[in-house]
Amino acid sequence: MTTLFGIPIQALLGQLLLGLVNGSFYAMLSLGLAVIFGLLNVINFAHGALYMMGAFVAWMGLSYLGLNYWAMLVLAPLAVGAFGIVIEKLLMRHLYKLDHLYGLLLTFGLTLMIEGLFRSFYGVSGQPYPTPQALTGATNLGFMVLPNYRAWVVAASVIVCLATWYVIERTRLGALLRAGTENPRLVEAFGVNVPRMISLTYGFGVALAAFAGVLAAPVLQVSPLMGSNLIIVVFAVVVIGGMGSILGSIVTGLGLGVIEGFTKVFWPEASSTVVFIIMAIVLALRPAGLFGREK
Amino acid sequence: MNRQLPAYGLAAVIVAALPFVGVYPIFAMKVMCYALFACAFNLLLGYTGLLSFGHAAFLGSAAYAAGHALKTWGWPTELGLLFGVCVAGLLGLAVGLLAIRRSGIYFAMITLAMAQMVFFFFLQAHFTGGEDGLQRIPRGTLFGIVDLHNDLNLYYLVMAIFAIGYFIIWRAVHSPFGQVLKALRENEPRTLSLGYDVDRFKLLAFVLSAALAGLAGATKALVFVSATLSDATWQMSGLVILMTLIGGMGTLTGPIIGAFIVVLLENKVGDFGRALANLTGLDWFMRLGESVTIVIGLIFVVCVMAFRRGIVGELAALKARRAPAAKA
């Protein structure tokens, strides 16, 4: 059997793929955080809880309504996105004039409420979610066996991330969004409905988190706690990458996922902390983050 | 202080008398530990304008350090407490050095991430006992004389520790150092242009706050004779923010009131839920006690939306509004 650094290539590639899967979730969540932060100046702590909601809505759709994975892949982000818009309109709207920290505190409170509610109904143990029929099994690539579903997760998230990048950087809608990030009052003076743009942006960022949640459902167990542990790692990812660049968020997310995967092979004890250690190193060397600009 | 001295004296007498009027000493000690924790946190959030989302790391690390020194190394109690404070202070130095490199929202995220790293360290390290935590930490004797296994003796020690911690914070806030911190909170670029080494002041405030949070953590370990992972979780970091927010950021007494409310809430939410279940006939309320987090989250949202000055802050604002009216 082929080995590299004394570890079978097969296991190494397997961990690489797992790392890419986790990295896809990091990328999608940090992308959503960056888009929301750009326009709203709010760090959305509830992002993890909404990712969890995405997974749960998919699970509920299957168990209560019999809606399959593919239907929920579209419906769950829409439902959670609508929920996000309601939150934005009811609560967050009133905090924009204040210190940015209040937005973080509000979404933190919402996180506790959402998680607490799901916990009181479903307990802390996870609910299994079956892998969709079309993606079960694995493909033998010769040098490794590729589980189809994991490959799909990575591909789907990369496509969604790149589509987001394209819309923001290359279309008129994105241009408006970027202009709104720079100077919302001027954009409003040009006749753009900025409050609606803000609502829709939040809804979109949240929908992205929910989409990641649905993708995660068959890989991880659907549990009320799946979001809160993830969101803190994603915060570290955001600090490492800086929130200035869309492509930067995507690359940082995927890259850190891969590093985490490799750490699991070579030094399992450090795998849960490696992202934080990298964050500390980056802060020491380049405080603005890899893709960030010093203000 | 001279004008407030009678009020503080009265408060001390009342607190000292509490165990004799039927207040459960452990409950009162728990409130005092959390109150010190919240006051230390408030030094940073309320007076320096830095939101640390990782203060549980200092509470937890001091609890583990003190517990380990007392249990495994057999150190005397006062040295164990001191060791906990030092460990928390050093950790505060390390985290602070990194966190002050960014400001605002990033500061919060960095402290949260660093605290999570500390949490994972405690989860995996051998000396902490993993998920079980450190149990049966000996309380020992104070200076070899006072037996601390007696709850009442410990009660007065905790009270003294709280008074010392509170005095340090009071002294810091009312010193030139405290004035610089407040200037930092109001306008950092201006403070910098006035020639103050902004980073040094921030770091000093951070270390002081971390060490005092450590004092609270080490004392808590003594009270509960245990140190557990829950002290180091991000939920705990959130809880101390809530205590400060409810009581009033940037007020000296606010965090104490906030800590009292939060501890009371944690203990009483179950009863409240049962009452609601009886009232409405909905079984779901019966489980409210298990899901305190929903209530905590709701209070968080209400405080942020409508009650940002906190109890003490609102009272002060009310007084300020009344004062001119009374003069006229």
**Strand ranges (E), chain B:** 141-142, 146-147
What pLDDT, on the 0 to 100 scale, is given for residue A257?
92
Are B294 and A112 an interchain contact pair (Cβ–Cβ within 8 Å)? yes
Look up residue A243 and give its DSSP letter.
Answer: S
Are A113 and B116 an interchain contact pair (Cβ–Cβ within 8 Å)? no
Using one digit for the tens of pLDDT, what is the confidence trace for A183-224? 888 888 888 888 888 899 999 999 999 999 999 999 888 898
Please name the member of A101, A276, A277 whose beta carbon is closest to the beta carbon of B108. A101
pTM assigned to the model: 0.89
Residues of B engaging A, defined by a Cβ cutoff of 8 Å: 51, 53, 98, 101-102, 104-106, 108-110, 112-114, 116-117, 120-121, 124, 234-235, 238, 241, 245, 284, 287, 290-301, 303-305, 308
How big, in percent rounded to 5, are the helix, strand and coil portions of chain A?
75, 5, 20
Are B300 and A105 an interchain contact pair (Cβ–Cβ within 8 Å)? yes
CA dihedral B243, B245, B247, B250 (to 10 degrees): 120
Torsion sign, CA atoms A257, A260, A265, A271: negative
From A91, which residue of chain B is nearest by alpha-carbon distance? Answer: B305
As given in the structure block, the two tokens for residue B183 are 């200037």
CA–CA dist A115, B298 (Å, integer): 12
Are A43 and B109 an interchain contact pair (Cβ–Cβ within 8 Å)? yes
A107 contact residues in B (CB cutoff 8 A):
none
- Of B216, B171, B235, B201, which is closest to residue B96 (Cα–Cα)? B201
Using one digit for the tens of pLDDT, what is the confidence trace for A256-276? 999 998 888 888 888 888 888
The percentage of residues in chain A with a pLDDT greater than 70, rounded to a whole number, is 97
Mark the ranges of chain B whose per-residue pLDDT is less than 70: 1-2, 283-290, 325-328
What pLDDT, on the 0 to 100 scale, is given for residue A1?
53
With tokens 């990033």, the residue in question is B106
What pLDDT, on the 0 to 100 scale, is given for residue A77?
95
Are A239 and B113 an interchain contact pair (Cβ–Cβ within 8 Å)? yes
CA–CA dist B264, A115 (Å, integer): 22
What pLDDT, on the 0 to 100 scale, is given for residue A185?
87
Please name the member of A37, A116, A280 whose beta carbon is closest to the beta carbon of B294. A116
Are A276 and B117 an interchain contact pair (Cβ–Cβ within 8 Å)? yes
Residues of A engaging B, defined by a Cβ cutoff of 8 Å: 37, 43, 91, 94-95, 98, 100-102, 104-106, 108-117, 119-120, 228, 232-233, 235-236, 238-239, 269, 272-273, 275-277, 279-280, 283-284, 287-288
With a cut of 60, say whether residue A277 has pLDDT above it: yes
| ipTM for the complex shown | 0.87
What would the mean pLDDT of A89-99 be, rounded to a whole number? Answer: 88
What would the mean pLDDT of A127-148 be, rounded to a whole number? Answer: 81
Are B293 and A109 an interchain contact pair (Cβ–Cβ within 8 Å)? no
**Pairing assessment for the beta strands A7-8 and A3-4 based on DSSP bridges:** antiparallel
A132 vs A29: which has the higher pLDDT:
A29
The percentage of residues in chain B with a pLDDT greater than 70, rounded to a whole number, is 95
Size of interface A-B (CB pairs under 8 A): 121
Are A109 and B304 an interchain contact pair (Cβ–Cβ within 8 Å)? yes
Q: Are B98 and B165 in contact (CB under 8 A)?
A: no
Task: State whether residue B72 is helix, strand or coil.
Answer: coil
